[in-house]
Structure 1
Amino acid sequence: MGAAPDDVEQRVGEIYRDESRRVFATLVRLIGDFDLAEDALHEAFAAALTQWAADGVPANPRAWLVSTARFKAIDAIRRQSRFDASVGDLGERVHQPAPRPEELDEARFRDDHLRLIFTCCHPALPPETQVALTLREVCGMTTDEVASAFLTKNATIAQRIVRGKAKIREAEIPFEAPGVRELPDRLDSVLSVVYLVFNEGYSASAGEAALRPDLTIEAIRLGRILLDLLPDPEVMGLVALMLLHESRRDARTSPAGDLVLLEDQDRTRWDAALIDEGRRLVARALASGPVGAYTLQAAISATHAEAPAAGQTDWSRIVDYYDLLLRAQPSPVVELNRAVAVAMRDGYEAGLELIDAILSRGDLVDYHLAHAARADLCRRLGRGDDARQAYQRALALTQQAPERRFLESRLAEIG
């Protein structure tokens, strides 16, 4: 029996949002080609809008989408083979027996997604290509979002993605998860992918919403799977970091969707269960071996979580953690975050001097959060003109609507 078109459209949209990248991962395993799998995926969802309206939503929508997309890919290969003899191998792969619906259960979809992440993080690819390709093709982030995560140009990211696909095709890199002995060689890139996916969900690089819970939830899911596969201290640290950040999600925006800064959040709305789990993982990671960057960031987040009020935050301990983090992972962004912590420990002037030093040497000049941090310290110091100029610079660089509204409100306060 058919369903109302509006209901079907809503259901298809929900499945696309929640499941499309896992369906895509299974298609890549079955088809062996990124672009063909992507085209077939979209054709299958288009077919679902029509067929489900007539026949109703199937009991196993993901299996239906995989089966339909696979047949769409076969049709595309047949059409292409009339003009291009080089598609023969691909055709043989797609024409393998179709998986039965019962084979496409949650475990298989989960394994396919993680398998594709490890494929994209193969050592044959340069590290920056591994991460960019995985974020775009596996996690569904746009090229703009990936470029924002890397603080680089769209064209640069697009080239990395194209070259990465070509390398996988030319080197015939298998779509499979590595053995336990191979896992450590790919772990850094995989953790980077999961971390950047979470970051895009934690603070969207553009758009009308500040948060994208679909991405944070998916990143945590992948992190938990990795932790089951490899209980490495840095995997523990990353999962802890994501849980501790996620614990504050409900308090980070107002009912209208506006940003609420950490110091102004209602801490009773923080998720105590996630905080407890995150703190336990931080303790395990700190006690398990050499301390890495994710564990140190998680320790910083745990310190915030332990403070019953913003004014009781142990900023000295946070600065100490940032000092260690700068040694483990030196970067201008870490320097910026440390400068803010120093401002809270030693005074706003001390933090402002550190931020000015970063900007004066040419680092983070196009990073809106650097100018927003500078503006905030100038505002607290009563330097209205400097604060106004810094807020205006930050406003010109941000593409996220809630951040724009926040910066505009600060400018209005200064007058």
Structure 2
Amino acid sequence: MSTYEDPWPAPRARGPVEVTTELPGSKSLTNRALVLAALADGPSVVRRALKSRDTVLMAQGLDAMGADVDYSGDDWSVAPGRFDSDATIDCGLAGTVLRFLPPVAALSSGAVSFDGDPHMRKRPVGEVLTALRGVGATVDDEGRGALPFVIRGHGSVTGGQVVIDASASSQFVSALLLAGSRYDHGIDVLHDGKPVPSLPHIDMTVAMLRRHGVDVDDAEPNRWQVAPGPIKALDTEIEPDLSNAAPFLALAATTGGTVRVPAWPHETTQPGDALRDLLTRMGCEVTLDDDGLTARGRERLEGIDADLHDVGELTPVIAALCALAESPSVLRGIAHIRGHETDRLAALTRELGGLGAHVTETEDGLTFRPATLHGGLFHTYADHRMAHAGVVVGSVVDGVLVENVGTTWKTYPGFPTYWSHLLGR
């Protein structure tokens, strides 16, 4: 990871931007593809994989358990392994590593130890661990339901039906589905609780499983059944990361400029595709054609009343735009993002408020009233999406200093350098 000045002076746009930006590959798709490739019935290639902290941690974790992942180039080769030795997994701050790899580790015949960054010990994973115990795995977490813990594998998992509360994270469901076909009786996941957030991410998991020849039945609400059977080896091409487009497209809204994103898919399961509708509602003109996506800002940035329950990862950038908007905003349905890399509702309230925003935290979201923002120090809490929010505000507000901007390496290596280049710095 490159070293950047800390705190980092966020570059200010001096007029409407006119830029075309290429996006790196999707983190969500890359990490799902790596898990499926490591469990498949033969070697495969993940093309245009995102190489970032989260995806390298996933590759290293699968390697540690016995797979062979070569992530040295743009296309990553993956050969399945025997998963027959002890291993240590560093989860960093990657929720996908924390949740997706324990169900894989349960298939090992060794002891697999998990830990991560200090804040990671606060992120919920207990529902996954309880489910694994219910289908025959041995889990030693000393009753914490959190890191650190050890999965002591027996070489196979019985599988069957589990009942979980996935209202804190859709990753709980995806984690069990990704490895479930390798269990003796498959996996039958029933959700019992408040609505599952980020359902498009589960749809993404189901679609990828089906492409690998796995039989998945999701016809019944809040139930996902994966039949036992092989995972077909399949080369996968990773789409651009649409959620990572958020700060770039926001430049069109903040500066009244034009931002083009080539290769935006016409059909996708990525939640980031919701940016098209959200930015339109905030006053931008958004078009999608064969050349990609184009967002054009207008003179007035409108506030929005939006339920972001299914697209919570977009909240920090949308919140930054709401803080700059000329009319009130309400963001709702996002209580679950208190359990993301940091408590994003509290963090956004504190940091945007510190720059002069009229923002109030509610039970399940944020409300905004128009205000004139000013410069100041914007803390990121080692959260890449918080850094995105800070630089968006800094694009039109003088004197915004973003602490630990390098945390963006989690999903976008070199982001600060590229952002500065776009703004002519």
TM norm structure 2:
0.36
Question: Greater share of strand residues, 1 or 2?
Answer: 2
TM norm structure 1:
0.37
Bigger-Rg structure (1/2): 1
